[in-house]
Amino acid sequence: MTATKPAARIPALTGAMLIGAQDVHGEHGEVRGVDPRTGQALEPAYGLGGTPEVERATRLAQQAFPVYRATTPEARAAFLDSAAGNIEALGDVLVGRVVAESGIPEARVRGELARTTNQLRLFAATVRAGDWLGARLDTPDPTRAPLPKPDLRQRKIPLGPVAVFAASNFPLAFSVAGGDTASALAAGAPVVVKAHSSHPGTSELVGRAVRAAVAEHGLPEGTFSLLFGAGRELGTALVQDPRIAAVGFTGSRSGGLALVEAAARRAVPIPVYAEMSSVNPVVLLPGALAEKGVALGAEYIASVTTGAGQLCTSPGLVFAVDADAAATDSFLAAATAAVRQAPAAAMLTAGIARAYREGVDRLSARPGVTAAAEGGTDESIDACGRVGLYVTDGATFLADESLRDEIFGATSLVVRVRDLDQLREILDGLEGQLTATVHAAESDHPAAATLLPTLELLAGRVLFGGWPTGVEVGHAVVHGGPFPATSAPATTSVGTRAIERFLRPVSYQNVPDALLPSELRADNPLGIRRRVDGEPGRI
């Protein structure tokens, strides 16, 4: 990486939690970042919080809520822009720390940093545009018989303070100031983040950048807090805290479901938006295999090995419709060659690498599953992940439910599927997914057309060609999908629709103009788009 001297304004790491404006050193044990390439523990140690720190943070968030939610769209957007700018200003210091704590190559980290700041700015623009307010006005009719028609106006308000659980695999984009935090802050909700223990230094740097923006804009300190905690104790306390109104989470299925259960047990249950588990099936139709099987093989492994396979959208299952065995063989030969050339990579943590090896061992031991190729190893890497490619057939896949399980890492399974009927049977048996992809040549279009309705019921994002890794942050993206891909299939955790998760509509009946929230007043002082009697675009 580029060796640039950190600017003076970049704070030194302290190992503290950020609870409102205070630095708080937790006393419930400690954790350090570990360089997964070397296994070396990094300075400083981070003190872990417990229930008292959860309460302190959520109390501040509760106090901040009435003030923060009443900010104008412009004020809120300016705050988000400042947060983006402050994170950007961390520059090489931040990039270096992410690389050290995650083993993610520098180029990818720089891309993720840009994505993170762009995402904050996209939400700033979204807040300014005001469509998220969902403003609706129904014209009254005092003369209507038998009952006058009331003046009804509707807007959306934030649910309340939001708890965000940072993910391990995107130390920036799905972490302290990632999509969940950005969309919750955009909605007008104070945020309490539980940092991921695998990148505490990254979390502190980004947390301080957000906190600085809170201070610059004169917002209540409780608008943002950052906690560290081990195991599930602090997280459970956070979800069960009565001041928390919603939860954003990206991580494992077991972790997500534990939070869903904890939220359901509350006196007042709250929504948990958990993005969990997905194997991201890819269908290769016969024409595509025949036309470009070799190219597909190489592209496939490039997607599998991206991020050492630790992406939510990594293609874990490929269904090759085996109409022409030679074409499938060519695809597999190309994929096999690519795997053999794939170097070993550092995984995010030693624990993830261990779980990965166990998953691969389980897969390779299944009857009817053949190892096609393995990538290189590198004993100098501590949390080493070796690329793997396995092959089976449709009948074996249908008979063995364990083959549908996600292996978090760069191993993927190719299933040679007899025909479209067997493919359909297989797809009908899959769980909900973040993505589903089909590769089709022109000659495959009739078959693809019959598959698309199945794929759209299976996943939140349907791809035609290409590979599922890489999630575009925009207006039309869905990063979500049926259970267990997420706990809330009607939502997305990426893209501008993510703000909707933290809002609810309120209707105002016959409220005098001067007392209405400004977005609903007759003169529309915010100049936002409003729906009048069901018709959009009118004032």
Residue 504, classified by CB atoms within 10 Å of its CB into exposed (0-12), middle (13-18) or buried (19+), is: middle
Q: Which is nearer to a second copy, 11 or 482 (CB)?
A: 482
The site map against a second copy for 450-479 (x = CB under 8 A) is --xx--xx-xxxxxxxx---x-x-xxxxx-
**What separation in angstroms does the CA of 2 have from each of 40, 85, 91, 116?**
21, 20, 10, 20
DSSP output for 394-409: HHHHHH-GGGGS--SS
Is residue 326 near a second copy by the rule CB under 8 A? Answer: no
Is residue 405 near a second copy by the rule CB under 8 A? Answer: no
Q: What is the SS3 assignment for 12?
A: coil
Is residue 142 near a second copy by the rule CB under 8 A? Answer: no
Footprint on residues 297-316 left by a second copy (CB under 8 A): none
Is residue 121 near a second copy by the rule CB under 8 A? Answer: no
Is residue 128 near a second copy by the rule CB under 8 A? Answer: no
Q: Which residues are catalytic?
A: 275, 312
Q: In angstroms, give the least distance from the CB of 306 to a second copy.
A: 11
The site map against a second copy for 268-287 (x = CB under 8 A) is xx-x----------------
Q: In angstroms, give the least distance from the CB of 433 to a second copy.
A: 12
Q: In angstroms, give the least distance from the CB of 65 to a second copy.
A: 9
Residues 166 and 200 sit within 8 Å (Cβ to Cβ): no
The residues near 325 (Cβ < 8 Å, ≥ 6 apart) are none
One residue of 2, 12, 43, 66 binding a second copy per CB under 8 A: 66
Q: In angstroms, give the least distance from the CB of 125 to a second copy.
A: 8
Q: SS3 sequence, 134-158?
A: CCEEECCECCCCCCCECCEEEEEEE
Q: In angstroms, give the least distance from the CB of 427 to a second copy.
A: 14
Footprint on residues 492-531 left by a second copy (CB under 8 A): 492, 496-497, 500, 503-512, 514-515, 529, 531
Distance CA 317, CA 450 (A): 20
Q: In angstroms, give the least distance from the CB of 287 to a second copy.
A: 13
Ramachandran class of 527: left when φ > 0, alpha when ψ lies in -120 to 50, beta otherwise: left
Number of residues that bind a second copy (CB under 8 A): 79
Footprint on residues 17-56 left by a second copy (CB under 8 A): none
Residue 454 burial (CB count, 10 A) = 18
Q: Which is nearer to a second copy, 207 or 495 (CB)?
A: 495
Is residue 223 near a second copy by the rule CB under 8 A? Answer: no
One residue of 55, 131, 324, 378 binding a second copy per CB under 8 A: 131
What is the Cα 409 distance to its own chain's centre?
A: 17
Q: In angstroms, give the least distance from the CB of 533 to a second copy.
A: 7
Stretch that binds a second copy, among 97-105, 135-143, 181-189, 196-204 (CB under 8 A): 135-143
Stretch that binds a second copy, among 125-133, 218-226, 310-318, 349-357 (CB under 8 A): 125-133
Is residue 423 near a second copy by the rule CB under 8 A? Answer: no
Q: Which residues pair with 156 in a beta bridge?
A: 505
One residue of 295, 490, 522, 539 binding a second copy per CB under 8 A: 490
Q: Which is nearer to a second copy, 403 or 520 (CB)?
A: 520
Is residue 352 near a second copy by the rule CB under 8 A? Answer: no
The one-letter code for the residue type at 358 is E
Residues 455 and 435 sit within 8 Å (Cβ to Cβ): no
Stretch that binds a second copy, among 74-82, 98-106, 133-141, 288-296 (CB under 8 A): 133-141
Is residue 105 near a second copy by the rule CB under 8 A? Answer: no
DSSP output for 332-383: HHHHHHHHHHPPPEE-S-HHHHHHHHHHHHHHHTSTT-EEEEE----TT-TT
CA angle 419, 300, 482 (to 5 degrees): 70
Radius of gyration of the chain (CA): 25
Q: In angstroms, give the least distance from the CB of 475 to a second copy.
A: 4
Q: Which residues pair with 226 in a beta bridge?
A: 18, 193
Stretch that binds a second copy, among 143-151, 231-239, 320-328, 414-422 (CB under 8 A): 143-151
One residue of 6, 91, 105, 150 binding a second copy per CB under 8 A: 150
Q: Report phi then psi at 7, rounded to 5.
A: -65, 160
Cis amide linkage into residue 269, ω under 30° from 0: no
